[in-house]
Structure 1
Amino acid sequence: MWWLKQLFKPLNYLRINVSKDGKWLQGKKIYDLLLPLGIAIFTTIVFWFVRNHSSITGTEGIMADIKGLVQLLTAFFIAALAAVSTFPNDTLDEGLSGSPALLKVSNQSEPTTLTRRQFVCYLFGYLSLMSILTFLFISISQGLSEELRELIKYLIPSQHISLVIDSVRTFGIFIFSLIIGNLLITTLLGLYFLTSGFHKIEE
């Protein structure tokens, strides 16, 4: 569907590779998946042993704090995207130093080599979209947590309720931690480009 492709165009950032072979343990995939996955596994293990779950999902819990931070970051990401896309600098229109950033386009046999401007625009476009989706994810999770608990109690036999609720909560924390981990690592990568990545040729 063409409208979905347009609305979620920033997700093409995840399709960008730094080498033609696209090996899993090389370059960008470390930032996109492996480091966030490590953060998610570690966070899930820690929270598994936390008995006071209101400290996580409560109105004054960790999710509420992250929700407030994401609100601020969304504005920063959009402002950074606007600045990078319009800033007049010849360095931005050159390729990345080292391994080139390659984006596979559906109607082309060979991937397109991105300039620094294009790569960072995809990066901050992706961060802007993900921060909005994360905000919605947290809001919906907080709003429906009690309803989901009641639905589980209605559908699941009483002797299994505690196990199912803990399993659903743990899975939710893992997904949430994976999203936040990806957002954190990608933000740090974006800050690298804003502080030094653009000027590496001149240094």
Structure 2
Amino acid sequence: MLELIFKPLNYLSIRWDNGIINKTRFDFVIPIIISILVSVLFTTIWFLVGTPKANIFTNDISYYLICFLQTMPGFFIAALAAISTLNSSTMDQPMAGDPPKEKYVEHNPYQVFWIDMNRRRFLARLFSYLTFISIVIFVLLLLIRFSYSLDIYSTNTYLIFSTYFVACFLVAFGLVQLIMMTFLSLYYLGERVHKN
């Protein structure tokens, strides 16, 4: 039963080789690059300024992110419900071009094969994943903000800034994924859902 909690992560196993920016690059490579750049920037700013206000987890930026993230799961769940109940023939047709493929496992006899996804299934997986990561980032940001509010200081400068870099990277990676995938879902809901 516990493994069902992580079923929204099945979105990450979808294969979609659609041009130069395939799904793996879209889901991981681009967010990792942007997250590293953002983390280096924020860590450098905190190192150069040297005041607690330069730490994004102790100032208002993280507070506003928490406020934003606590509203997002409701929108994603509403979109998931709309996708599931939308009465449209185009939603149940395979996606145009080279459609994304989903792993399907047959247990008797054991076989693994990949099936083409339709828009409804793809968007349902996408909104499930968006809901999952928005909740995870929200909880992670709360925990990081709480840990920085304890005012526990280390004398090791390397440890302070490496921990800060890792925290920035985790939050930035989740936020970049959330933003990019939300824009992708908006494209499919606003544009492609009405076309064959």
Q: TM-score, normalised to structure 2's length?
A: 0.87
Q: How does 1:187-202 map to 2 (within 5 A)?
A: 187-201=182-196
Q: Distance in 1 between matches of 2:92 and 2:10?
A: 19
SS at match of 2:142: helix
Whether the 8 Å contact between 1:77 and 1:128 is mirrored in structure 2 is yes
Is 1:105 aligned with 2:104? Answer: yes
In structure 2, what is the equivalent of residue 140 of structure 1?
143
Displacement of 1:106 in angstroms is 3.6
| More strand by percentage | 2
Q: Distance in 2 between matches of 1:106 and 1:125?
A: 20
Unaligned runs of 5+ in 1: none
Whether the 8 Å contact between 1:35 and 1:185 is mirrored in structure 2 is no
In structure 1, what is the equivalent of residue 2 of structure 2?
4
In structure 2, what is the equivalent of residue 57 of structure 1?
57
In structure 2, what is the equivalent of residue 173 of structure 1?
168
SS at match of 1:103: strand
Q: TM-score, normalised to structure 1's length?
A: 0.84
Unaligned runs of 5+ in 2: none
From 117, 126, 129, the equivalent of 1:126 is 129
Distance of aligned partners of 1:165 and 1:189 in 2 relative to their CA distance in 1, 3 Å threshold: same
Amino acid at match of 1:138: L
In structure 1, what is the equivalent of residue 118 of structure 2?
115
In structure 2, what is the equivalent of residue 162 of structure 1?
157
Whether the 8 Å contact between 1:94 and 1:116 is mirrored in structure 2 is yes
Distance of aligned partners of 1:136 and 1:97 in 2 relative to their CA distance in 1, 3 Å threshold: same
Amino acid at match of 1:10: P
Amino acid at match of 2:133: M
Q: How does 1:8-19 map to 2 (within 5 A)?
A: 8-19=6-17
RMSD (Å), alpha carbons: 2.0
In structure 2, what is the equivalent of residue 96 of structure 1?
95
Whether the 8 Å contact between 1:54 and 1:61 is mirrored in structure 2 is no
Q: Distance in 2 between matches of 1:144 and 1:173?
A: 14
From 176, 182, 189, the equivalent of 2:177 is 182
Q: Distance in 1 between matches of 2:91 and 2:133?
A: 24
Whether the 8 Å contact between 1:105 and 1:112 is mirrored in structure 2 is yes
Displacement of 1:163 in angstroms is 1.6
In structure 1, what is the equivalent of residue 73 of structure 2?
74
Amino acid at match of 1:73: M
Displacement of 1:200 in angstroms is 2.8
Q: Distance in 1 between matches of 2:149 and 2:61?
A: 17
